Amino acid sequence: MVNHYGEQTASGHLHVPSESKEPYPADVLEQLSTDAEAVIARYPQRRSALLPLLHLVQSIDGYVTGRGIDFCASALGLTTAEVSGVATFYTQYKRHPNGDYTVGVCTNTLCAVMGGDAIWETVSEHLGIGHDETTEDGKITLERIECNAACDYAPVVMTNWEFFDNQTPDSTVQLVDDLRSGAPVAPTRGPSRVCTFKQVSRVLAGFPDGLADEGVGAGTASLRGVELARREGWTAPDSGDATPDAAPTNDASTEGTATGEQTSVDTPANEPDERPTSDGKEGQA
190 within 8 A of 210, measured Cβ to Cβ: no
Q: How far is the CB of 87 from ligand FES (least distance, A)?
A: 26
Which residue, 140 or 156, has its beta carbon nearer to ligand FES?
A: 156
Alpha carbons within 13 angstroms on the beta-carbon side of residue 116 total 28
Q: How far is the CB of 32 from ligand FES (least distance, A)?
A: 35
Q: How far apart are CA 68 and CA 156, in angstroms?
A: 32
Which residue, 156 or 175, has its beta carbon nearer to ligand FES?
A: 156
Q: What is the DSSP letter of 187?
A: -
Which of 56, 47, 114, 119 lies closest to 85 in space, CA to CA? Answer: 47
Which residue, 146 or 274, has its beta carbon nearer to ligand FES?
A: 146
Which residue, 117 or 261, has its beta carbon nearer to ligand FES?
A: 117
Q: Which residues bind ligand FES (CB under 6 A)?
A: 106, 108-111, 147-148, 150-151, 154, 156
Q: How far is the CB of 150 from ligand FES (least distance, A)?
A: 4
Cβ neighbours of residue 88 closer than 8 Å, sequence gap 6 or more: 95
CA torsion through residues 182, 186, 188, 190, sign: positive
Which residue, 115 or 138, has its beta carbon nearer to ligand FES?
A: 115
Which of 210, 200, 204 lies closest to 53 in space, CA to CA? Answer: 204
Tell me the one-letter amino acid at 264.
S
Element (H, E) at 175: helix 169-181
Q: How far is the CB of 123 from ligand FES (least distance, A)?
A: 15
Q: How far is the CB of 146 from ligand FES (least distance, A)?
A: 8
